[in-house]
């Protein structure tokens, strides 16, 4: 399909920080937009998020340069050109940028175009966005391999780290309604929302505050330790009438690169008053994994602590899901390295870590090819764009992580999944 116009603008994300939104027009008149998310605790090997560094605007966080890249260099190169597939456009953009980390045009500029194109193509070819993604993912095998299967979702209840004012050292505490016990997605959403409400009540009972962090979950500053969050969550699950272990298990994203001290090579757990070597930290984690019904763990280690990642998988990989986020940054090369080393058994998938839909699809394919899990994920800074819900369905990623049920930009994704389930 020929592209006939492209325009971009600076909008605000869910934290009040600028991000980029691009609108594409196809030759048949179809218009569609894509709005790019933004991380708070980013991995070092993510593609470049182009910001202005003009301290006079938004403390340097403006994205007018990225907007200008779309409206000048990218526009000049792609308007009037024909792209038959998502890969055709994305590969062209990758070449146009020419750098490994998309630093010439900006990962955010490129992704906004990639997203807008996907949505415009789906509209123009009169198919749901997830179906367009499924065709891009499965290719010739689309008919035989694709079916709509609702994901198992990690629902966020408590936040700490950078997202939650360092209420705890760890970033995300989640509940996971087990897929086999919750085959209907609307029941997953209901369980998540009911447990969230019950957790709210459990917090108030303790005299703790119940305000939420970046991703729509509780971040009480009164909390006394990292593990108290588990206790509160489990209380919430029981209060809501669900069975811990049988129906609901726990998932955790520690975002450990944020509390790892690169100078000393130690893990600095402020809430525990502990400074631990990799070995000691692994032992401490092992205690918790024995004590609490934790099924999935993400980034419990620093993103370059490869040897300890390998030991983690060796010890817990057969019973737990071990997810690499900052470790892998949705990057095929890093995923390949981790597969070879046996350093994780699942990948967290974030479209803006890598910067195009096509590369995101390749990352999921690589993980799935060796039986790994793939968790489609939001970012700390989000918009109401719900494209990742369709991408999760289209790629049959099997799992999602879209935050807590208390902020519109998170619910946009949950609500899109329930819409897909209804077949609307
Ligand atoms: P981020 O965090 O988007 O702020 O990096 C989300 C996550 O780590 O899952
Ligand atoms: Zn993470």
Q: Say which of 350, 362, 401, 409 is annotated catalytic.
A: 350
Alpha carbon distance 120, 124 (integer Å): 6
- Tens digits of per-residue pLDDT, 291-305? 999 999 999 999 999
Give the whole-angstrom CA distance, residue 13 versus residue 329.
21
Q: What is the C-alpha to C-alpha distance for residues 75 and 145, in angstroms, rounded to an integer?
A: 36
Q: Are strands 260-261 and 373-377 parallel, antiparallel or unpaired?
A: unpaired
Instruction: Burial-class residue 390 by CB neighbours within 10 Å (0-12, 13-18, 19+).
Output: buried
The ligand whose atoms approach the alpha carbon of 379 most closely is 1
| Token couple for 95 | 């070449």
pTM of this prediction?
0.98
Active site residue 149: no
Return the number of other C-beta atoms located less than 10 Å from residue 165's C-beta: 15
- Ligand 1 atom closest to 37 (CA): 3
Distance 72 CA to ligand 1 centre (A): 31
The tokens 């202005």 sit on which residue?
A: 52
CA-closest candidate to residue 118, choices 199, 236, 32, 237 = 32
Taking residues 35-53, what's their average pLDDT? 97
Structure-token pair, residue 218: 């509780």
Residue of 162, 328, 377 to test ligand 1 pocket, by largest number of atoms within 8 Å of CB: 377
Rounded mean pLDDT, 381-395: 99
Q: State the closest ligand 1 atom to the C-alpha of 42, by its place in the atom list counted from 1.
A: 5
| Residues 351-360, mean pLDDT to the nearest whole number | 98
How do 294-298 and 274-276 pair as beta strands?
A: unpaired
Residue 9 has pLDDT above 90, yes or no: yes
What's the pLDDT score for residue 60?
A: 98
Q: How far is CA 306 from CA 178, 217, 312, 319, 384, in A?
A: 30, 30, 10, 20, 35
Ligand 1 first shell, C-beta below 6 A: 39-42, 171, 253, 255, 325, 377, 379-380
In this structure, the residue with its CA closest to atom 6 of ligand 1 is: 379
Q: Which atom of ligand 1 is nearest to the CA of 255?
A: 8
Q: Is the pLDDT of residue 219 over 90?
A: yes
Other C-beta atoms within 10 Å of 29: how many?
8
Mean pLDDT computed over 100-106: 98
Segment 172-182 shows an average pLDDT of: 97
CA of 253 to the centre of ligand 1 (A): 9
To the query of whether residue 215 is one of the catalytic residues in this protein, the response is yes
In whole angstroms, what separates CA 410 from the centre of its chain? 11
Ligand nearest to the CA of 40: 1
- CA 252 / ligand 2 centre spacing (Å): 9
pLDDT confidence bin for 351, thresholds 50/70/90: very high
Q: Residue 141 above 90 pLDDT?
A: yes
Atom of ligand 1 nearest to the CA of 401: 9
The closest residue, in CA terms, to atom 7 on ligand 1 is: 379
The CA 158 to ligand 1 mean position distance, Å, reads: 14
pLDDT tier for residue 331 given thresholds of 50, 70 and 90:
very high
Q: Give the pLDDT of residue 1.
A: 86
CA 41 to centroid of ligand 1, rounded, Å? 6
Which ligand ends up closest to the CA of 215?
A: 1
HEC letters along the chain: CEEEEEEEEEEECCCCCEEEEEEEEECCCCEEEEECCECCCCCCCCCCCCCCCCCCCHHHCCCHHHHHHHHHHHHHHHCCCECCCHHHHHHHHHHHHCCCCCCCCCHHHHHHHHHHHHHHHHHHCCCCHHHHHHHHHHHHHHHHHCCCCCCEEEEEEEECHHHHCCCCCCCEEEEEECCCCCCCHHHHHHHHHHHHHHHHHHHHHCCCCCCECCCCCECCCCCCCCCHHHHHHHHHHHHCCCCECCCEEEEEECCHHHCEECCCCEEEEHHHCEEECHHHHHHHHHHHHHHCCEEEEECCCCCCCHHHHHHHHHHHCCCCEEEECCCCCCCHHHHHHHHHHCCCCEEEECHHHHCCHHHHHHHHHHHHHCCCEEEEECCCECCCCCHHHHHHHHCCCEEEECCCCCCHHHHHHHHHHHHHHHCC
């Amino acid at each position: 399909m020929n592209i006939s116009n492209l325009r971009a603008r600076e909008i605000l994300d869910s934290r009040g920080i600028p991000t980029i939104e691009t609108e594409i027009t196809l030759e048949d008149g179809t218009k569609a937009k894509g709005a790019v998310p933004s991380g708070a605790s980013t991995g070092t090997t993510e593609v470049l998020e182009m910001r202005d560094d003009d301290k006079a605007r938004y403390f340097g966080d403006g994205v007018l340069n990225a907007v200008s890249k779309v409206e000048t260099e990218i526009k000049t190169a792609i308007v009037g050109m024909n792209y038959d597939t998502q890969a055709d456009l994305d590969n062209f953009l990758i070449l146009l940028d020419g750098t490994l980390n998309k630093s010439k045009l900006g990962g955010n500029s490129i992704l906004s175009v990639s997203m807008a194109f996907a949505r415009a193509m789906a509209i123009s070819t009169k198919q749901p966005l997830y179906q367009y993604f499924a065709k891009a993912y499965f290719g010739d095998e689309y008919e035989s391999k694709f079916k709509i299967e609702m994901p198992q979702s990690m629902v966020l209840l408590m936040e700490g780290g950078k997202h939650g004012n360092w209420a705890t050292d760890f970033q995300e505490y989640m509940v996971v309604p087990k897929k086999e016990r919750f085959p209907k997605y609307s029941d997953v959403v209901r369980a998540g929302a009911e447990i969230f409400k019950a957790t709210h009540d459990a917090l108030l009972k303790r005299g703790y505050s119940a305000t939420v962090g970046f991703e729509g979950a509780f971040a009480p500053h009164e909390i006394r330790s990292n593990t108290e969050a588990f206790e509160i969550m489990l209380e919430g699950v029981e209060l809501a009438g669900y069975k811990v272990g049988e129906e609901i298990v726990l998932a955790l994203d520690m975002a450990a690169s944020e509390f790892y001290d690169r100078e000393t090579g130690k893990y600095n757990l402020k809430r525990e008053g502990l400074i631990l070597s990799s070995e000691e930290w692994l032992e401490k984690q092992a205690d918790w994994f024995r004590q609490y019904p934790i099924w999935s763990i993400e980034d419990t280690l620093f993103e370059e602590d490869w040897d300890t990642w390998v030991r983690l998988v060796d010890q817990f990989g057969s019973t737990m899901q071990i997810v690499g986020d900052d470790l892998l940054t949705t990057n095929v090369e890093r995923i390949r390295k981790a597969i070879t080393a046996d350093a994780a058994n699942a990948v967290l998938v974030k479209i803006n870590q890598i910067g195009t839909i096509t590369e995101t699809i390749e990352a999921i394919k690589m993980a799935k090819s060796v039986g790994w899990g793939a968790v489609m994920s939001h970012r700390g800074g989000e918009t109401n764009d719900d494209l990742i819900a369709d991408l999760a369905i289209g790629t049959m990623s099997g799992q999602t992580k879209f935050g807590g049920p208390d902020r519109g930009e998170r619910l946009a994704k949950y609500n899109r999944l329930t819409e897909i389930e209804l077949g609307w």
